[in-house]
Amino acid sequence: AAGVIQSPRHLIKEKRETATLKCYPIPRHDTVYWYQQGPGQDPQFLISFYEKMQSDKGSIPDRFSAQQFSDYHSELNMSSLELGDSALYFCASSQPMGAHTEAFFGQGTRLTVV
């Protein structure tokens, strides 16, 4: 079965550079969630989209922005990168929002800022 695809799997950037992470949800899933997991830390919710509109926002820095496109894929744009942005970034997708609609996670993108 198709899963959530994230690209790239690994990314190395220098401080103050920008990075773009991509997420391709499972077919027919219209909801996308982004999470950030720092080293040895729990995943922290960043932002979510439903039908191409932002549906909820968590602890996402102002330097980050995200959007969901017409084909439901999503991109997380990160500017002025800092060392502390080094983390595993997960995307999850789910079918139309409902209380028992499971969100499936991708493999994650490991971002290293040097």
Query: Which parts of this chain interact with other proteins (CB under 8 A)?
Result: 4, 33, 35, 40-45, 48, 55-56, 58, 90, 92, 94, 97-108, 110
Residue (of 82, 99, 84, 61) closest to 18 by Cα position = 82
SS3 call for 84:
helix
Question: Which amino acid belongs to residue 38?
Answer: G
- Smallest gap from Cβ 80 to other proteins, in A, equals 26
Beta carbon nearer to other proteins, 32 or 113: 32
Beta carbon nearer to other proteins, 38 or 77: 38
- Smallest gap from Cβ 102 to other proteins, in A, equals 6
Query: Is residue 26 within 8 Å of residue 45, measured between CB atoms?
Result: no
